[in-house]
Chains A and B, each alone.
Chain A
Amino acid sequence: METIRASQEILLQEGYNAFEIDTAEALELKLTVSRPCDVFVRIRKAPKLRVETTVREGVRAAILFYNSSDETVRSEESFTVFKDADLTVAYGECSHGDVYRNSRVDLRESGAKALLSSASLVNERKEYNIEVANLAPHTFGEIRNYAVVLSSGRLMIDAIGRIVKGAYRSESHQTSRALSFADGQRSEILPELLIDENDVQASHAMSIGRVDEDQLYYMMSRGLSIEQCTSLISTGYLMPITEILSNEELRSSLAEEMERKISELCSM
């Protein structure tokens, strides 16, 4: 895996790419996708990150940002998706540090498609401002957020789906779900659909809730402690994020790492 410590422009290779960001300085990355690829980006340390990604016409790309930093990460990200290109961006967050993320996807030309999805185990402060903008006709945007909020965690998500005038026959969908195990927690999810065109499809679904008491009782009646139940349920809730990786080896090693991290955070 290539370690990135200084700002640079990267033309992503066809197939599989893996990077690691590890710097105490501000860092700016420009990623260009011109061939189909899968990208794994591990964030070890990035107090101030800027990522600009361009996905060229007709290309499919999946990018997973996995944050394993135990310090605060601030990240500004923009993704521009051109004609008939298909982008999946996923965030895996099981870190000990705060995260402040602004992330914006522009579906620039017709046929552009993007899915932005996040899975977060929230033990600290996590603030996401996410926007997917349909700027052209026949574009498809989707946002999915899944979060498990632990007792010391604070989650805020502002998720915006925007369809501009003239972007007819476009779709904007979003789902955000937050699960908590303890009383007195604060999670805020603001789902927004800003639509300035008539001939479109849009939807949003949102839920914030506690784990079902009957489910906990059932699991505990087989001998599991409340921490173990929390860990198993959280793992089940967040693990699907790894499925965007097509590389089997990487997927299973990431799944293992997440499982370890989740179990560690849940028993704190």
Chain B
Amino acid sequence: MKTLEIRNLHVKVEDKEILKGVDLTVRENEIHALMGPNGNGKSTLLAAIMGNPKYEVTEGEIIYDGKDLLAMPVNERSIAGLFLAMQYPQEIPGVTNSDFLRAAMNVRRESPVSLFAFIKAMEKTINDLQMKEDLAHRFLNEGFSGGEKKRNEIVQMELLRPSLAMLDEIDSGLDVDAIKIVGDAITKLREETGMSIIVVSHYERFLEMIRPQFTHVLVDGRIICSGGPEMAQRIDSEGYDWIYKEYNVVPAAEAEETGKRPASIGVCAVRESVKGAAE
């Protein structure tokens, strides 16, 4: 059983604390949706699990498959089975997709993948994701459109076959058809491998395809409530306000804005009262 366990995770970015004590357990074969307003820590959580050096873990632990992830460099986390489909994939000029992917496949194998087997696997994946045929020979993400970059993340995922896939707004920048292609590819891969998934998405349409069994809402660096798929549906139709009220929380972005708000309210209130007096 490959289980991801996160306990009391605190993460800082450039001296600002973003995660303020996150607990989360993801077991094999489970699909978890991570929701919450922008700027409240969803991407930070995924980046910290993957090991982005810009995110400093100040407290807490992340265990995967019994191993202390925080003690492992990024590449070893990948070899341990983690995959992060990034929100903003990097462009790497001079390095072709095929050279990159072959190297990435080989680090997790006893003997290197043969050229023939690699080409076949690559062709199949390109076909699954309906990418252009020259993908293998193009430089990694260089000059790709936003949608192509996102699909290329899934190409990589399909070839590397992780045991835990993290999808960070992989659906943003994709048109309706592409969302379907990507959703189908992920679903198929999951059926084949039984990988667990943590998905960050704002779109119910995408979540319907991925079918998470669990929903967690991250507000101001903490998971303030968790539930089943019905919670994601309710958020889609009603937004987050009911959660703020029910759990008495203020989202991080708004907490910052409230500092400025009294001035604007004051101005409006004055106008209102003047108007009222004139009537």
**Total A-B residue pairs with C-beta atoms closer than 8 Å?**
76
Cβ-based interface call for B107 (8 A): yes
Chain B neighbourhood of A237, CB < 8 A: 94
How many chain B residues touch the partner (CB < 8 A)? 32
Cβ-based interface call for B127 (8 A): no
Q: Is the CB of A224 within 8 A of B75?
A: yes
Chain A neighbourhood of B94, CB < 8 A: 233, 235-237, 239
Q: Which of B50, B54, B89, B103 contacts A224 (CB 8 A)?
A: B103
Q: Is the CB of A219 within 8 A of B100?
A: yes
Q: Considering the chains assembled together, what is the distance between the CA atoms of A213 and B89 in angstroms? A: 13
Q: Considering the chains assembled together, what is the distance between the CA atoms of A213 and B74 in angstroms? A: 13
A213-B53 in contact given A222-B100, A222-B156, A223-B79 (Cβ < 8 Å): yes
Q: Is the CB of B74 within 8 A of A221?
A: yes
Q: Considering the chains assembled together, what is the distance between the CA atoms of A219 and B83 in angstroms? A: 12
Cβ-based interface call for A88 (8 A): no
Q: Is the CB of A222 within 8 A of B92?
A: no
How many chain A residues touch the partner (CB < 8 A)? 21
Q: Which of A213, A221, A233, A239 contacts B92 (CB 8 A)?
A: A233
Most B CB within 10 A of own CB, among A213, A214, A239: A214
Q: Which of A220, A235, A239 contacts B74 (CB 8 A)?
A: A220
Q: Considering the chains assembled together, what is the distance between the CA atoms of A226 and B53 in angstroms? A: 13
Cβ-based interface call for A3 (8 A): no
Nearest-Cβ distance from residue A214 to partner chain B, whole angstroms: 5
A interface, by DSSP: helix, strand, loop or mixed? helix
Q: Considering the chains assembled together, what is the distance between the CA atoms of A246 and B104 in angstroms? A: 32
Cβ-based interface call for B163 (8 A): no
Q: Which residue of A lies closest to B89 (CB)?
A: A218
Chain B neighbourhood of A215, CB < 8 A: 90-92
A225-B75 in contact given A217-B52, A217-B53, A233-B95 (Cβ < 8 Å): yes
Q: Considering the chains assembled together, what is the distance between the CA atoms of A225 and B103 in angstroms? A: 10
Cβ-based interface call for A37 (8 A): no
Q: Is the CB of B74 within 8 A of A217?
A: yes
Q: Considering the chains assembled together, what is the distance between the CA atoms of A220 and B156 in angstroms? A: 13
Q: Considering the chains assembled together, what is the distance between the CA atoms of A224 and B99 in angstroms? A: 12
Q: Is the CB of B104 within 8 A of A218?
A: no
Q: Which of A222, A236, A239 contacts B104 (CB 8 A)?
A: A222
Q: Considering the chains assembled together, what is the distance between the CA atoms of A224 and B102 in angstroms? A: 10
> Please, what's the 1-or-0 string for B150-188, where 1 marks a CB less than 8 Å from any CB in chain A?
000000100010000000000000000000000000000
Chain A neighbourhood of B89, CB < 8 A: 218
Q: Which residue of A lies closest to B101 (CB)?
A: A222
Chain B neighbourhood of A218, CB < 8 A: 86, 89-90, 92
Nearest-Cβ distance from residue B176 to partner chain A, whole angstroms: 28
Cβ-based interface call for B214 (8 A): no
Nearest-Cβ distance from residue B117 to partner chain A, whole angstroms: 18
Chain A neighbourhood of B84, CB < 8 A: 221
Nearest-Cβ distance from residue B164 to partner chain A, whole angstroms: 13
Nearest-Cβ distance from residue B156 to partner chain A, whole angstroms: 6
Chain B neighbourhood of A233, CB < 8 A: 92, 94-95
Q: Which residue of A lies closest to B85 (CB)?
A: A221
Cβ-based interface call for A228 (8 A): yes
Chain A neighbourhood of B79, CB < 8 A: 223
Q: Is the CB of A223 within 8 A of B92?
A: no
> Please, what's the 1-or-0 string for A203-233, where 1 marks a CB less than 8 Å from any CB in chain B?
0000000001111011111111110100011
B interface residues with partner A (beta carbon < 8 Å): 50-54, 73-75, 77-79, 83-84, 86, 89-96, 99-101, 103-104, 107-108, 139, 156, 160
Other 15 A-B pairs with CB < 8 A, given A217-B53, A217-B54, A222-B100? A212-B90, A213-B53, A214-B90, A215-B90, A217-B74, A218-B89, A219-B92, A221-B77, A221-B83, A222-B101, A224-B104, A228-B103, A228-B107, A235-B94, A236-B92
8 tightest A-B CB contacts, nearest first? A236-B94, A218-B90, A223-B78, A220-B74, A222-B104, A223-B107, A220-B75, A236-B95
